[in-house]
Amino acid sequence: MFNLKQIFGKQGEALAVKHLKQKGYEIICVNYKTRLGEIDIIARDKDTIVFVEVKSRRSSTFGSAKAAVTPDKQRRISKNALYYLKATSQMNARARFDVVAIDSSNESCGVEIIKNAFGMSYE
């Protein structure tokens, strides 16, 4: 069973997938899990593999969706991305990290793709 927070997160991911496809991304994988954690979406944008973190917010009480991708979260995503690239023999591939920020705090739902939102971080 999913709780309300998980359901909201899954709805956000589905909206992100739809929006990415509309922008020409090819979705490779959703919810890629390793022992190190999870990457929300792995996609291809032309010749680049894109690791996408989806952040959804119902209100701005705890800050914006963009601000929720902390340095610690960036490190975890980076480690998972390296794991994926190695596991799929794509260590020489072009890659980047995007964030899809979904703000549903008002009547309309805003979806923003932040390309190249952060760099590789593995400290």
**Residue 90: what are its φ and ψ, rounded to 5°?**
-125, 35
Q: Is 46 left (phi over 0), alpha (psi -120 to 50) or beta?
A: left
Domains within the chain, CATH numbers bracketed: 4-118 (3.40.1350.10)
Give the pLDDT band (50/70/90) at residue 57.
Answer: confident
Q: Decide if pLDDT at 8 tops 90.
A: no
Question: Which residue would you say has higher pLDDT here, 33 or 105?
Answer: 33
Tokens of 107: 């009547």
Q: pLDDT tens digits, residue range 93-103?
A: 999 999 999 88
Beta bridge partners of 41: 30, 52
Per DSSP, the three-state class of 78 is: helix
